[in-house]
A and B are shown apart, each in its own frame.
Chain A
Amino acid sequence: MQEKVEAQNILSMNSVEVLYDNVMLAIKGVSVQVPKGEMIALLGSNGAGKSTTLKAISGLLKAERGRISRGEITFQGTDITEALAQKRVEMGICHVIEGRRVFEHLTPDENLTAAAPRGMSRSTLNAEKEKIYGYFPRLAERKNSQAGYLSGGEQQMLAIGRALVTQPRLLMLDEPSLGLAPFLVEEIFGILQKINKDEGLSVLLVEQNALAALEIVSQGYLIENGRVVMHGTAEALKSNSDIQEFYLGGGETDFHNVKHYSRRKRWLS
């Protein structure tokens, strides 16, 4: 029974604690499961620990002097808690970090080349690039200009494309909608959904824009103060009144009946 669950989850994170600089506890026992081929969202406000959770999975914590002090992470049944970031990318985990961070002085085409795994043949790389340009036709148009001068949306597309070159099995995205116009968010999320369907790519999405995220994922985890405080299907979360009020906006729209006391996040204490 246990093994069957393991086989279904491409990623399993169990009670993980992360320390920065050996003192600051950033996440306090987070457990997240990503079923194979599904899209999962991590929601929550600023500083809740969502980005740290992704970095714990991708191994980028080390670059920020963080470490996993408790718990374990398994990917496709292999314990990766101590593995190097580079190794995890080879295994199939790719992390699109916050703020896009394209290689600004390279062209989009060179950005894709830079991410090619060691030993990938020239023909495979070209086929990968063609596939990515197929998903993001805007990138194809500008593939030889300087990446730093692309628009925010194009840079986000490039960051996702660059991650796809590594041929991931699990794609993690940190706030892909940040600073983008709503129609662009819709476009990018639509493409993510398509890649997820076409290739069976599992996706772990960190978002503050819960409304957009819950439209495309199957399950969501709500993280606050470094803990998972709620977990459920996208439908269940969307209809939860607390989620509606604090993360989706809306809720009380009739200002004549606004409550006189300020509601608080009861699930925090």
Chain B
Amino acid sequence: MDWVFLSELAINGALTGLLYSLFAIGLVLIYKASSVPNLAQGGLTMVGAYVVLALARDVGLPLWLAIPLAAVVMFGLGFGIERVALRRLAGRPVVMILMLTLGLDIFLRGTTLAIWGGTSRSMELGVSYDPLFLGDIFISRIHLVGAGVALALFVAFMLFFRTRTGIKLRAIADDYMASWSVGIAVERGVGLSWALASVVAVAAGVIWGEIQGVDQALSLLLLKGLTVAVLGGLDSILGAVIAGIILGVVENVGADFLDPLVGGGSRELIVAAVLILTVMIRPHGLFGRHDIERV
């Protein structure tokens, strides 16, 4: 057993996992504020990355300006989605809203394909590709940056949900009708959660775009992000962070053991197994809220 190699796998797995968390935080935000699992988060992430590229390459802005500007654009898009599509469905069964978000995801993918085509574009953040060595362990710098962004967003949103606006969003997720009855602007709250999730999508899109290029495949992050969110408990931001690390480590270490046996491709299997087992064994995830039933 090579311990150095194993810890390298684990540390890089954890860093990759935090990048999944970065994506999953967007899912959790929307769930926490409206009890809807947003299947369009993958599409939003991809759009976020494309908008950054459009501002940087096609308009010619420097990246440090293009990214915040894209965040503003996406913030508006998030609000717009609520206004145009979700508002009509407020208070309807969750499954209808779920289908709507699925339709939205397909729509976003189709739109980006029509505008920017299918070829992969590269996102150059200027982060050095030189390896970083921690003792004998090799660490990728971009992963480190991404993990830092994920942790920063985690702290920011933990604080946000303690503010008055954050408490109102949690109240909306608990009970739409009761929220209306005390004058909470439910529609605006849901819009705000989509807007914030869209900003998170920009962050995830930029980091993942740098790692794997900006193309349609970015939207497939949804599968891993959803797994992380479900494992973490869907409405827990802390859960998303911890579940991200767990999934990243399990996937990286597990694949190293399994790949030689099955001839590759075991990563996807591990992710699928984690998702299925979570739902079967612990449907509330690690930190999710339980529905309270009093007897």
- With both chains docked as a complex, state the minimum distance between the C-beta of A107 and any C-beta of chain B, in angstroms: 10
In whole angstroms, how far apart are the Cα atoms of A48 and B214 in the complex?
Answer: 60
Given contacts A63-B180, A86-B180, A111-B171, contact A105 B289 (CB under 8 A): yes
User: Contact mask A152-176 → B, CB, 8 Å, 1/0?
Assistant: 0000000000110110000000000
In whole angstroms, how far apart are the Cα atoms of A146 and B170 in the complex?
Answer: 13
Closest to B184 in A: A114
Q: Which residues of A contact B167 (CB under 8 A)?
A: 106, 110, 113-114
- Cβ < 8 Å to B, chain A residues 213-267: none
> Is B103 positioned at the interface, with any CB of A under 8 Å from its CB?
no
- Cβ < 8 Å to B, chain A residues 90-114: 90, 94-97, 101-106, 110-111, 113-114
User: Contact between A166 and B178 (Cβ–Cβ < 8 Å)?
Assistant: no
User: Contact mask B60-100 → A, CB, 8 Å, 1/0?
Assistant: 00000000000000000000000000000011000000000
> Looking at the complex, which one of B164, B177, B183 makes contact with A63 (CB distance below 8 Å)?
B177
A-B contact pairs, 23 of them (CB 8 A): A60-B181, A63-B180, A101-B175, A103-B170, A103-B171, A103-B174, A103-B178, A104-B174, A104-B292, A105-B289, A105-B292, A106-B174, A111-B171, A114-B168, A114-B171, A115-B183, A116-B164, A118-B185, A146-B292, A149-B292, A163-B182, A166-B182, A166-B183
> Is A33 positioned at the interface, with any CB of B under 8 Å from its CB?
no
In whole angstroms, how far apart are the Cα atoms of A146 and B171 in the complex?
Answer: 13
Closest 5 CB pairs of A and B: A89-B183, A148-B292, A114-B171, A115-B182, A101-B178
In whole angstroms, how far apart are the Cα atoms of A163 and B175 in the complex?
Answer: 15
- With both chains docked as a complex, state the minimum distance between the C-beta of A87 and any C-beta of chain B, in angstroms: 9
User: Contact between A94 and B182 (Cβ–Cβ < 8 Å)?
Assistant: yes
Q: Number of contacts between A and B (CB, 8 Å)? A: 81
> Is B176 positioned at the interface, with any CB of A under 8 Å from its CB?
yes
Name the prevailing secondary structure of the B interface residues. helix
- Cβ < 8 Å to A, chain B residues 162-221: 164, 167-168, 170-171, 173-185
In whole angstroms, how far apart are the Cα atoms of A95 and B180 in the complex?
Answer: 9
> Looking at the complex, which one of A60, A96, A113 makes contact with B164 (CB distance below 8 Å)?
A113
- With both chains docked as a complex, state the minimum distance between the C-beta of A161 and any C-beta of chain B, in angstroms: 11
Q: Which residues of A contact B171 (CB under 8 A)?
A: 103, 106, 110-111, 114
Closest to B186 in A: A86
- Cβ < 8 Å to A, chain B residues 139-170: 164, 167-168, 170
User: Contact between B183 and A103 (Cβ–Cβ < 8 Å)?
Assistant: no
- With both chains docked as a complex, state the minimum distance between the C-beta of A118 and any C-beta of chain B, in angstroms: 8
Q: Which residues of A contact B289 (CB under 8 A)?
A: 105
User: Contact between A96 and B181 (Cβ–Cβ < 8 Å)?
Assistant: yes
Q: What 17 new A-B contacts, CB under 8 Å, besides A94-B181, A101-B178, A115-B184?
A: A58-B181, A63-B176, A86-B180, A86-B184, A90-B183, A94-B182, A94-B183, A97-B178, A101-B177, A103-B170, A103-B179, A106-B167, A106-B171, A114-B184, A117-B183, A118-B185, A148-B292
Q: Which residues of A contact B183 (CB under 8 A)?
A: 85-86, 89-90, 94, 115, 117, 166
User: Contact between B176 and A89 (Cβ–Cβ < 8 Å)?
Assistant: no
Q: Which residues of B contact A146 (CB under 8 A)?
A: 292
Q: Which residues of B contact A166 (CB under 8 A)?
A: 182-183
In whole angstroms, how far apart are the Cα atoms of A111 and B167 in the complex?
Answer: 8
Q: Which residues of B contact A103 (CB under 8 A)?
A: 170-171, 174-175, 178-179
In whole angstroms, how far apart are the Cα atoms of A103 and B90 in the complex?
Answer: 18
Closest to A155 in B: B294
Tell which of A105, A106, A149 has the most Cβ of chain B within 10 Å: A105
In whole angstroms, how far apart are the Cα atoms of A166 and B179 in the complex?
Answer: 12
Q: Which residues of B contact A101 (CB under 8 A)?
A: 175, 177-178, 181
User: Contact between A60 and B177 (Cβ–Cβ < 8 Å)?
Assistant: yes
- Cβ < 8 Å to A, chain B residues 240-292: 289, 292
> Looking at the complex, which one of A89, A105, A149 makes contact with B182 (CB distance below 8 Å)?
A89
